[in-house]
Chain A
Amino acid sequence: MENTKKMLVFCGSDDAHKSFPPFMLGCGAQAMDMELTLFFTLSGLNIIRRGYAERIQLPGAPKTLPEFLKIAKENGASFIACSAAFPILGIKGDDFIEGVEYGGVAEFVSLAEEADVVLTFC
């Protein structure tokens, strides 16, 4: 839809207090008919590594992180893994959950330019 507002979230940490807000706010934005893109970089990449989200826990949150990942995806979110951070983390980027795309700086900048809202958690 042409008039759909876009939210882009920079997920730069696997700290629980920084891993959950992108999904709490992002899923809320989807409920309010916004299009959501999550850009994962640095330790934030761990959120989308297979088997890692389960380990990031925030007692009292309404959903677990794997549940939030599923809800966001089901509602059409795009997950982008920052390939520039692969060597920093010592990963090859082949162990992500399904549906993750790769992107770099230019991808983030162009998404940020198009987005109506950009949030940063790092």
Chain B
Amino acid sequence: MSSIELRAVQAAKVVDARGSACPGPLLEAKKAIGSVPVGQTIEVWSGDASTKNDLPKWAAKVGHEFLGFLAGEGYDRIFITRRK
């Protein structure tokens, strides 16, 4: 998804994991995705540099859809849609 498309995404839940180092953001993403209906998107904020690489791998493994990420001021916004 392009950054313009990502900016238009309405997340059902925003998870602020900026204070948490790996694997904190992953654990928070896992918890959050279970709290939204299938087809809805979560947005994870992380200041940990590896999260934008880690979450797509997690999503692919467990069957969710990684839409992409936007670089924020000192953190990344990562978008994942629940698919199961």
Contact = CB atoms under 8 A, between A and B. Distances in A.
A65 to B, nearest CB: 14
Q: Which 7 A-B pairs have the closest CB atoms?
A: A62-B24, A31-B30, A28-B23, A62-B21, A62-B20, A32-B61, A33-B62
B61 A33 contact: yes
Interface residues of B, number: 12
B28 to A, nearest CB: 10
* Tier of interface size on chain A: 10 to 19
Interface in B8-62: 20-24, 26-27, 29-30, 58, 61-62
A55 B24 CA distance: 21
A62 B23 contact: yes
Contacts of A106: none
Nearest to B19: A62
A71 B62 contact: no
A96 B38 CA distance: 40
Contact of A31 (B20, B21, B26): B26
B15 to A, nearest CB: 13
Interface of B: 20-24, 26-27, 29-30, 58, 61-62
Interface in A56-97: 60-63, 71
Interface of A: 24-25, 27-28, 31-33, 60-63, 71
Contact of B23 (A24, A33, A60): A24
A82 B18 CA distance: 38
5 contacts: A27-B23, A28-B26, A31-B29, A60-B21, A62-B22
A34 to B, nearest CB: 9
Most chain B Cβ neighbours within 10 Å, of A24, A61, A62, A71: A62
